[in-house]
Amino acid sequence: MSPDGEAGGHAVRDAMAGSGRLRETLRRPQTATGAAIVGSLTLVALIGPELLGTDPMAQNLSNRLHPPSLAHPFGTDRLGRDVFARVVHGARFSLGIAVAVTVIRLVLGVTIGLLAGYAGGWTDELLMRIVDLLFAFPGIVLALVIAGIAGPSLTNVLFALAVVGWGTYARVVRSEVLSVRERDYVTASRLSGTPHHRIVLEHVLPNVLGPTIVLATLDIGTVVLATAGLSFLGLGAQPPTPEWGTMIAAGRHYLQTAWWLVNVPGLAIVVTVLGFTLLGDGLREVLDPDGRTERSS
Amino acid sequence: MRWQYLFRRLALTAVTLLLVSVVTYGLILVTPGDPAKLVLQKQLGQPPTAEQVAVFRAQHGLDEPPHIQYLHWLGELLQGDMGQSYYHERSVSELLVDRLPVTLSLAAGGLAVSLAVSLPTGILSACRPHGYADHASQAVALLGVAMPNFWLGYLLVFVFSLTLGVTPVYGSGTPAHLLLPSLTLGTGLAAVQTRLLRASLRDTLDAEFVTAARTRGLGERLVVYKHALRNALLPLVTVLGLQLGFLLNGAVIVEVVFQRPGLGTLLVNAVFDRNYPVVQGVTLLAGVLFVLVNTVTDLAYERIDPRVSLGGEPA
């Protein structure tokens, strides 16, 4: 039996209690709806385009601005392209970008938070001042400037959004590290010569896992909104890429004649963000009962 | 104590803005393409001659090495000069002064709409938790958070301008022009505020002093409005300051949707036109506004709640 047998036992018991609570939370209609939306969207993004088989770029100028019909459930756009196929392909772009941005934010934020909390001293001071700086500026405006100057493209939007958004993770993780450090069993473990990386892996990371999962779930929704917003402004995906924000920007000139061009991608965004928000709020009750991830803005 | 706090805040602001300007300058440096050629091409409608490019570069100080350019810009900034726009022969500060009122009126409108919605719904929800009104308002708040404001804007235009014909479609100038943009901007804010006010009022209504007030036989109305609400509003005040960031973010998109000539449209156009002095100017102003409002919020917070002491160690 390893010396951490007891801590391991705690972890297992906690995990079991957690899975019981998870089942309970999933039974609530809000969380269940969120999970269902997120699940189906993931499926659509992964296999939807291939399953559908319709080319989202295929133009048919004799079939322009056709209202929804059996052949084109969401109508066609000004170049006769199938809007349904474009929205389905858009799910891949939107979710792909959102997940990528969130993963970068998470890795950056957790690493910096761990470093700041664990190293303390001037490293901590410096890193946390950088986080203050990030919070001292409206995020989209900063991302807009970064992505705009670097040149309009989805990749630049991805990096701009990742760079401006890791602060929350760093703050949550750092404060968790500070509180875990002082616990008796961690002090004991440190005094008995356990190397730092093992203390981080065994005691600190498991404690910050819950809050970061909650933050990340909610973040995906926020990033979907931000990406679509920047693309709407013309900074992200460029036509003819079937991205939701770009589709709204292109469809706005047909507000009166072809209502589906703006409303179908708009609805797709709302459903996506709603799904991740509902799921994130539900997960918070299981994974972060103390409310360390409460959003203040 | 307060002076120390203010000083610290100002110092942090100065460093933030300095860093933001360095980052922006750095980005401009590594970006391929000569702004002089791009700008002249746009202005003339044809590729500029080498001589024209040279004149433009000399005029805007682009012929100097990058770090000198930056120091030059910084030096002039400290003397109150934010440089010249690459287009229209106008100074950046002139442009900012022109556009600021358009954005501020939009922000004020959005804030008014959000408070008009969130105060009554928040109170109603908190007083009758899990009632119909509560569930309805929570559902609406959730939708408000998930709704992209560019889509909401076009939905409102479609319903109120194109179908009902009661509001002007695009542009700015009259109060009627402000209506739909304010609604668009205010909805997202209202959603966050309602959630927050509900939670904070629920907590306050459970507090001992509220129970005490009830035990003394005070009417429910008096208890809620005079005793509980005052305390429950504290978190809302803080969030209002933070929400200015949200307002500025939102204003950019709302201004583009409704084609309002504010700071947001100015920034977006400047970014596309590679009008770098204007980009620097708007970014700087946004940062100053954001920090200014948050400082004022903190001071207000201290006023409302005597237990809060700025800059000092917690008692």
Contacts with A262 from chain B: Cβ below 8 Å: 151, 154
DSSP characters for B166-194? -S--S--SSHHHHHHHHHHHHHHHHHHHH
Interchain proximity B290–A225, CB inside 8 Å: no
- pLDDT score for B189: 85
Contacts with A278 from chain B: Cβ below 8 Å: 142
CB of B155 less than 8 A from some CB of A: yes
Q: What would the pLDDT profile of A27-54 be if each residue is shown by its tens digit? A: 788 888 888 888 888 888 888 777 776 7
Interchain proximity A141–B157, CB inside 8 Å: no
Percent of chain B with pLDDT over 90: 1
Q: Is the ipTM of this complex over 0.85?
A: no
Peptide bond into A67 cis (omega under 30): no
Mean pLDDT, range A156-165, rounded to an integer: 88
pLDDT at B310 over 70: no
- pLDDT score for B171: 65
Quote the minimal CA–CA distance from B217 to chain A in Å.
35
- pLDDT score for A4: 44
Mean pLDDT, range B87-103, rounded to an integer: 86
Mutate to test the interface with A, among B150, B198, B240, B254 (most CBs of A within 10 A): B150
- Say how many C-beta atoms besides its own lie within 10 A of residue A267's C-beta: 15
Output phi, psi for A70, to 5 deg.
-65, -40
Three-state SS for B9-73 is HHHHHHHHHHHHHHHHHHHHHHCCCCHHHHHHHHHHCCCCCHHHHHHHHHHCCCCCCHHHHHHHH
- pLDDT score for B315: 35
Q: What would the pLDDT profile of B211-237 be if each residue is shown by its tens digit? A: 777 777 777 777 777 767 777 777 777
- pLDDT score for B245: 72
Q: At what angle do helices A260-287 and A5-27 cross, to 10 degrees?
A: 140
Count H helices, E strands: chain B? Answer: 13, 0
Quote the minimal CA–CA distance from B201 to chain A in Å.
15
The mean predicted confidence, pLDDT, of chain A is 80
∠B166-B169-B174 over CA atoms, to 5°?
80
Residue with more model confidence, B1 or B206: B206
- pLDDT score for A99: 92
Structure-token pair, residue A201: 């892996």
- Residue burial A223-262, b: 16+ Cβ < 10 Å; e: rest: bbbbbbbbbbbbbbbeeebbbbbbbbbbbbeebeebbbbb
Contacts with A270 from chain B: Cβ below 8 Å: 143, 146-148, 151
- pLDDT score for B130: 80
For A160, the closest chain B residue by CA position comes to: B27
Across A188-192, A250-254, B94-98, the highest mean pLDDT is recorded for B94-98
Interchain proximity B287–A137, CB inside 8 Å: yes
The mean predicted confidence, pLDDT, of chain B is 79
Confidence of residue A109 (pLDDT cuts 50, 70, 90): very high
CB of B283 less than 8 A from some CB of A: yes
Q: Which of A161-170, A269-278, B223-232 has the least mean pLDDT?
A: B223-232
Mean pLDDT, range A90-116, rounded to an integer: 91
Q: Distance between terminal CA atoms of chain B?
A: 13
Cα distance between residue B149 and residue B50, in whole Å: 45
Quote the minimal CA–CA distance from A191 to chain B in Å.
31
Place of tokens 């297992």: A12
Contacts with A145 from chain B: Cβ below 8 Å: 24, 27, 267, 271, 279, 283
For B246, the closest chain A residue by CA position comes to: A138
